[in-house]
Amino acid sequence: MTITQPDLSVFETLESEVRSYCRGWPTVFDRAQGSRMYDEDGHVYLDFFAGAGSLNYGHNNPVLKRALIDYLARDGVTHGLDMSTTAKRSFLQAFQDLVLRPRDLPYKVMFPGPTGTNAVESALKLARKVKGREAIVSFTNAFHGMSLGSLAVTGNAFKRAGAGIPLVHGTPMPFDNYFDGTVPDFLWFERLLEDQGSGLNKPAAVIVETVQGEGGINVARPDWLRALKDLCERQDMLLIVDDIQMGCGRTGAFFSFEEAGIAPDIVTVSKSISGYGLPMSLCLFKPELDVWEPGEHNGTFRGNNPAFVTATAALETYWADGSAMEKQTRARGEQVEQALISITEENLADVKEYRGRGLVWGMEFHDKDRASRIARRAFELGLLIETSGPEGEVVKLLPALTITPDELDEGLRVLARAVRETA
Last residue of a domain, one of 278, 296, 320: 320
Instruction: Based on the fold, state whether residues 235 and 99 are members of the same structural domain.
Output: yes
**What pLDDT, in 10s, does the model give residues 170-222?**
999 999 999 998 999 999 999 999 999 999 999 999 999 999 999 999 999 99
Give the count of beta carbons closer than 10 Å to the beta carbon of residue 300.
9
Instruction: Based on the fold, state whether residues 314 and 400 are members of the same structural domain.
Output: no
% of the chain at pLDDT higher than 90? 96
Query: What per-residue confidence (pLDDT) applies to 349?
Result: 73
Question: Crossing angle, helix 305-318 and helix 62-73, to 10 degrees?
Answer: 140
Spatial distance between the Cα atoms of 55 and 291, rounded to a whole number of angstroms: 33
Question: Crossing angle, helix 322-346 and helix 405-421, to 10 degrees?
Answer: 20
Query: What per-residue confidence (pLDDT) applies to 322?
Result: 87
Instruction: Based on the fold, state whether residues 182 and 39 are members of the same structural domain.
Output: no
Q: pLDDT confidence of 347, banded at 50, 70, 90?
A: confident
Instruction: Based on the fold, state whether residues 154 and 31 are members of the same structural domain.
Output: no
Looking up residue 125, the CATH number of its domain turns out to be: 3.40.640.10
Cα Rg of the chain, angstroms: 21
φ, ψ of residue 53 to 5 degrees: the values are 95, 5
Instruction: Based on the fold, state whether residues 314 and 361 are members of the same structural domain.
Output: no
- Within a domain: 387: yes
Instruction: Based on the fold, state whether residues 186 and 290 are members of the same structural domain.
Output: yes
**What pLDDT, in 10s, does the model give residues 384-419?**
999 999 999 999 999 999 999 999 999 999 999 999
Please state whether beta strands 282-285 and 386-388 pair in parallel, antiparallel, or not at all (unpaired).
unpaired
**Beta-ladder partners of 417:** none
Give the count of beta carbons closer than 10 Å to the beta carbon of residue 423.
12
Produce one character per residue of 327-350: b if its CB has 16 or more CB atoms within 10 Å, e if not: ebbbebbebbeebbeebbeebeeb
Instruction: Based on the fold, state whether residues 345 and 303 are members of the same structural domain.
Output: no
- pLDDT higher than threshold 90 for residue 5: no
**Beta-ladder partners of 218:** 212
- Within a domain: 272: yes
- Within a domain: 382: yes
DSSP state of 355: E
Instruction: Based on the fold, state whether residues 409 and 308 are members of the same structural domain.
Output: no
- Within a domain: 183: yes
In contact, 276 and 72? CB cutoff 8 Å: no
Instruction: Based on the fold, state whether residues 307 and 252 are members of the same structural domain.
Output: yes
Query: What per-residue confidence (pLDDT) applies to 3?
Result: 54
Instruction: Based on the fold, state whether residues 308 and 365 are members of the same structural domain.
Output: no
Instruction: List C-alpha distances in Å: 110 to 180, 294, 302.
Output: 38, 12, 9
Spatial distance between the Cα atoms of 338 and 326, rounded to a whole number of angstroms: 19
Last residue of a domain, one of 271, 297, 320: 320
Looking up residue 393, the CATH number of its domain turns out to be: 3.90.1150.10
Calculate mean pLDDT across residues 75-80.
97
Instruction: Based on the fold, state whether residues 210 and 227 are members of the same structural domain.
Output: yes
Last residue of a domain, one of 320, 337, 367: 320
| CA neighbor of 362 nearest in space, from 158, 177, 210, 215 | 215
Residue type, 16: S
In contact, 308 and 158? CB cutoff 8 Å: no
- Within a domain: 213: yes
Q: Which residue has the higher pLDDT, 1 or 374?
A: 374
Instruction: Based on the fold, state whether residues 160 and 112 are members of the same structural domain.
Output: yes
Spatial distance between the Cα atoms of 28 and 40, rounded to a whole number of angstroms: 6
- Within a domain: 2: no
- pLDDT higher than threshold 80 for residue 297: yes
Domain region containing 304 = 76-320
- Within a domain: 66: no
Handedness of CA 268, 273, 274, 277 (dihedral sign): positive
In contact, 274 and 307? CB cutoff 8 Å: yes
**What pLDDT, in 10s, does the model give residues 310-325?**
999 999 999 999 899 9
Calculate mean pLDDT across residues 248-257.
98
Of the CA atoms within 13 Å of residue 137, those in its CB half-sphere come to: 24
Instruction: List C-alpha distances in Å: 346 to 351, 417, 419, 423.
Output: 9, 11, 10, 11
Calculate mean pLDDT across residues 271-296.
98
Calculate mean pLDDT across residues 53-72.
98
Calculate mean pLDDT across residues 363-378.
96
Calculate mean pLDDT across residues 156-180.
94
Spatial distance between the Cα atoms of 273 and 318, rounded to a whole number of angstroms: 12
Query: What per-residue confidence (pLDDT) applies to 250?
Result: 98
Number of domains in the chain: 2
Residue type, 405: P
In contact, 207 and 132? CB cutoff 8 Å: no
- pLDDT higher than threshold 80 for residue 50: yes
% of the chain at pLDDT higher than 70? 99
Instruction: List C-alpha distances in Å: 380 to 16, 26, 356, 362.
Output: 25, 10, 25, 20
- pLDDT higher than threshold 70 for residue 2: no
Cα 57 from chain centre: 14
- Within a domain: 67: no
Query: What per-residue confidence (pLDDT) applies to 1?
Result: 40
